[in-house]
Amino acid sequence: MVVKSLSIKMLAVFAAVVLTVVVFTSVPGWAAEPKTAATGVPAPAVKAPKHGGAPASGTAELLDLNTATKEQLMALPGIGETTAREIIRSRPFAKKDQLKSRKILTEQGYDRIKDRVIAKQPPGKKAAHKR
């Protein structure tokens, strides 16, 4: 009777662990590759420059501050919904360090994401801050 009871408890714990893994890997931002919730398409990104370091996540792609969706921005460490909205509202960015100069992020917040983002410019256009 004790063995049967122990086996049922172990099975319940195993089922709970499997369910937790399935739930968290299906949440946007928890998967290895960020995807938009509505379309499921991979995040727009550009390859890291050869002379610079790779992003901290270990991938060779950077998230473009000028085109990323709110969900993609929220997948970055320390970026919540309010900050993501502020980044989108403050576009376009000529340089990624404008996140600090425009007081969107603190020095520490910027340090957490600086190796994961880029401010890519469309061909033939210069970014200008609009307020």
Give the residue-averaged pLDDT of 63-86: 96
Query: CB 69: neighbour CB atoms within 10 A?
Result: 21
Nearest to 65 by CA among 44, 40, 42, 38: 44
User: Is pLDDT of 100 > 80?
Assistant: yes
Distance CA 17, CA 35 (A): 24
Give the model confidence (pLDDT) of 43-70 as tens digits.
555 554 444 444 444 555 899 999 999 9
Give the model confidence (pLDDT) of 22-47 as tens digits.
445 555 554 444 444 444 555 555 55
Whole-prediction pTM: 0.52
Distance CA 43, CA 61 (A): 10
**CATH architecture entry for 45-118:** Orthogonal Bundle (1.10)
Tokens describing residue 68: 């990323």
| pLDDT (0 to 100) of residue 8 | 77
Nearest to 117 by CA among 33, 39, 40, 55: 55
